[in-house]
Structure 1
Amino acid sequence: MPDTTDKKPGSPVTYDFSEQVGHLLRKAYQRNMAIFQQNIGNSQLTAVQFITLCAVHDHGPSSLSELIKATAVDQATIRGIVERLQARDLIALKPAQHDKRKVIVSLTEAGEQLVRETQPHAAQVSELTMSRLNPAERVAMLYLLRKMVDESAD
């Protein structure tokens, strides 16, 4: 961060976009996405598709609203992701038993297999993304990111 301690009272504060949290988070995210694409082993699988598959894998058959909550992906985007995953036979859709208007998403055998095969690579992506950090910095980074996104603290 630039040092502004020697600024004279009343002088304008310099705004350096490259030092702003949003810009730095975006650059870190872009780095993570590049590492994901280089290391995941499936060029057709995007990170958001993978987390959607993981959410269904971890939580079991899920409604779209449950997927939105689990993945933090908006409704329009999750619908497109679900359509693309269904077209690749990685997920199956069926109406909910108690409400036929509600769609339940479940993994197909191919989807289960893809998640199992991809998870070790995904763990490596996180490792590579944080490779410049020492162990204490990694713990601190994850703690601070969780704290930033914790909605219950508001």
Structure 2
Amino acid sequence: MNQENNEYIIEDQVGYLLRRAYYHHLSIFQQSLDETQLTSVQFATLYSIHKLQECSQKELVNDTGIDQATIRGIIQRLKDKGLISQDPDSIDKRKVLIHITPQGKDQLKQAIPIAETITDLTLKALNPAEKIALQFLLKKIVDDKN
């Protein structure tokens, strides 16, 4: 809030600033990761599948923070690219487990160094202490379940 005349200033609001920072990051991401043909959410999903080794769609939603409807489409696109596979669970035939394919592992291996550079480019205006503080504070916001 502007102290002088009690005006609401959207440019000072956390949601506005987070959205602008996110779009700045996405712009850098799309320019940098073009050669892998992965979007930011596809990269995050592929990374999570690799990390979890095998997972259900629900486990993937919990790990990525991407909503159920969106993750369904991402899974299909990654499957269409041959980066993941889906197989019935051997114990519970109603459950489908998602795995990364060898092609998906290769794609991820190629994308991770680029993703690290993207983080550096996104945070280039910050000094080392500010980078650590920002990451700490963002994690604190994300981890707040209340």
Q: TM-score, normalised by structure 2?
A: 0.95
Mapping of 1:1-154 within 5 angstroms? 3-4=2-3, 6=4, 13-42=6-35, 44-152=37-145, 154=146
Paired with 1:3 and 1:77, the residues of 2 have a C-alpha distance of 38
Paired with 1:110 and 1:41, the residues of 2 have a C-alpha distance of 17
Two-structure CA RMSD over aligned residues (Å): 1.3
Amino acid at match of 2:32: N
Aligned 8 A contact 2:43 2:108 in 1 = yes
Paired with 2:35 and 2:49, the residues of 1 have a C-alpha distance of 19
Q: Going by fraction, where is helix more abundant, 1 or 2?
A: 2
The total of aligned residue pairs comes to: 146
Amino acid at match of 1:121: I
How high is the sequence identity, in percent, across the aligned residues?
Answer: 42
Identify unmatched segments of 5+ residues in structure 2.
none
Paired with 2:22 and 2:35, the residues of 1 have a C-alpha distance of 19
Paired with 2:85 and 2:21, the residues of 1 have a C-alpha distance of 33
Aligned 8 A contact 2:88 2:97 in 1 = yes
Which protein has the larger Cα radius of gyration, Structure 1 or Structure 2?
Answer: 1
Which aligned segments of 4 or more residues in structure 1 are displaced greater than 6 angstroms? none
Aligned 8 A contact 1:51 1:71 in 2 = yes
Secondary structure at 2:46 match in 1 = helix
Secondary structure at 1:15 match in 2 = coil
Paired with 2:121 and 2:79, the residues of 1 have a C-alpha distance of 30
Shift of 1:151: 3.0
Aligned 8 A contact 1:41 1:121 in 2 = no
Match of 1:10 in 2: none
Q: Encode CA deviations 1:67-102: one digit per residue, 9 max, x unaligned.
A: 001100000100000001101111000111121111
Paired with 1:24 and 1:114, the residues of 2 have a C-alpha distance of 32
Shift of 1:138: 0.3
Aligned 8 A contact 1:68 1:75 in 2 = yes
